Structures are given as structure tokens and as C-alpha cells.
Copies of this chain bind each other. A is one copy, B any other.
């Protein structure tokens, strides 16, 4: 029958939870809107309710929680992030009290990286990087067969590799981060600041985000195609730099923008390999993520069942 854990993925938009076994199989799952405006007390309630429904009738070894923010894994707090962060709240320990099981807390895409590594595209590899391009850009890495955590569990912030000294300003305060070019937020900000916006179909988009840019690219919109090309150049450069630093055997690319923007994945996969050092190129495979929306849930549960 195997052992079970509950994986919980707290995104900016949705909370997903799942009951997962030690083979990475999802036995049941749930999804609801994240009530970020309600603060951590409300998010705690949502997590507790989701955990209760997932764990019902099962003996559960623990819960893994991935959240869209920078986590201090040592202290168990969410230090900063776009809208879900409570740097002074001992979020992990409060959740453990509320749920009655041990809780493992990490960044959401770090959890997704663990999911892809143990049960997805990176199965059997010792050295992996994963890059997820969505509303923001994040990632994770496996080095020597272990999760790259860094000093406080915050390693793998690949969205904040700068590719241009005088590039567009990123939310982190630095110019030219790949997140400022290629994330949903970055694409929208660049479109809004572009002189060509008035003659682009993007000017009439109900909501200007990565999905709107993807639709406009498919329709042949000039501005959208230029933004896509810039995003591809930035992602390719960042990815080649990351590969030169870590020499992985596998680079996994995923996320809504990576999957949705026409031609983006193909260009990144081809050009990142061309541009990295020859010694790194020979051993490298680039592939799409295979667990999709459930990578975070599966990785979170896996971290709860078997910490790294």
C-alpha cells in the first residue's frame, strides 16, 4: 500500500493539495483560490482545511508545503515574495501544530524541482537544473544527488540571474534579471512601457499578462513577437550561464509562460545547448517538465516523506 503524505502548493492564485504515495502517485487532489488578502491566518485555515480533506481516512506521515515566496528553511518562515510573505510568522511550526504532523516548508518551484527529479523528467539523474517560467521565474537544482538549498534554503533563484547590465529594472532592484524579460509580469511591464503598444493588439487586452502575449504572438502581433524574441534571448543566456556554473546532465523547463508562448521552449532548448561551454554540452539533455501543475504538490509530498 505504501506510505502517504499530503503535498500543498500555495501559489499566488491557487492552492493545490494532494494525497500522494511514495511512488509519487496522486490519489486525490483539490484546488481553490488563494485568499492572500486574508493574511496568514486565513491561508493557514485554507491549508488546514485542504489537509483535512486530503488526509481523511489515511495515516499520513507528514505534509510538505511549497509557497510562492522566499522561504527560510532553517527558521520555517516565508521571508519575502510578491503577495504571500510573513517574515515574522513561524509559518511552518504553526502549520505543524494545526495539522498535527511534521511540516516541511520550501519555495514552490524548489518543491516542483524535487517532484520532477524524483518522479518526473529528472528521474535517475544526479545533477539537474529546473527553470519554471510563469508569473515569475524560479527554479531549483540537484547537485551531487542532493537538493541545492544554500545557507537558508533559498538557493535556486534562477529568475534573478541578470543578463543585461542596462536592462529593464527587476522587482528585486537589479537591472536585467531574466525575470524582467521573460516572466508573465516582466512581459506585461515591458509591453506597457513600449512605444509600439498603441499599434498592438495588446493595447486592447482585457488583462495584460503572459497568456495575452501568447495569444498575440499566435495572431502575428509585431510587439508580442518582439517581446517573445527578447524573452527567448534572455532565457537562453541565463540558462547557458546557469549550465556553465552547475554542469547538469538534465535541464528541465516548465511553467505556464514556457509552455504557452509559441516557440519559446523550442528556442530555449536548442540555443541553450549551443551557447554553453563545449565540455558541458556533450552531457546535457534539455526537456520539458512532465508533471505540469502537479509538480509542486508531488514534490512537496515527496519532501515530507523523504527529506533531502
Contacts and interface: CB of A to CB of B under 8 A. Distances in A.
A129 to B, nearest CB: 9
Contact of A150 (B146, B164, B280): B280
Nearest to A70: B279
A143 interface: yes
Q: How large is the interface on A (under 10, 10 to 19, 20 to 34, 35 or more residues)?
A: 35 or more
A263 interface: no
B283 A240 contact: no
A72 interface: yes
Given A162-B237, A164-B164, A148 B154 contact: no
A29 interface: no
Nearest to A81: B279
A243 to B, nearest CB: 9
Contacts of A150: 127, 246-248, 280
Interface string A153-174: 0111110111111000000111
A244 interface: yes
B283 A151 contact: yes
From A146, A157, A176, residue with most partner B Cβ within 10 Å: A157
From A149, A172, A247, residue with most partner B Cβ within 10 Å: A247
Shortest beta-carbon contacts, A-B, top 10: A150-B247, A151-B283, A155-B247, A160-B244, A161-B241, A70-B279, A151-B249, A157-B244, A143-B143, A154-B279
17 contacts: A72-B279, A127-B155, A143-B155, A144-B149, A150-B247, A150-B280, A151-B247, A151-B249, A154-B247, A155-B245, A157-B247, A160-B277, A162-B240, A162-B241, A163-B176, A242-B245, A245-B245
Given A144-B146, A155-B245, A165-B233, 8 more contacts: A127-B150, A144-B149, A149-B247, A156-B245, A157-B245, A164-B164, A165-B234, A165-B237
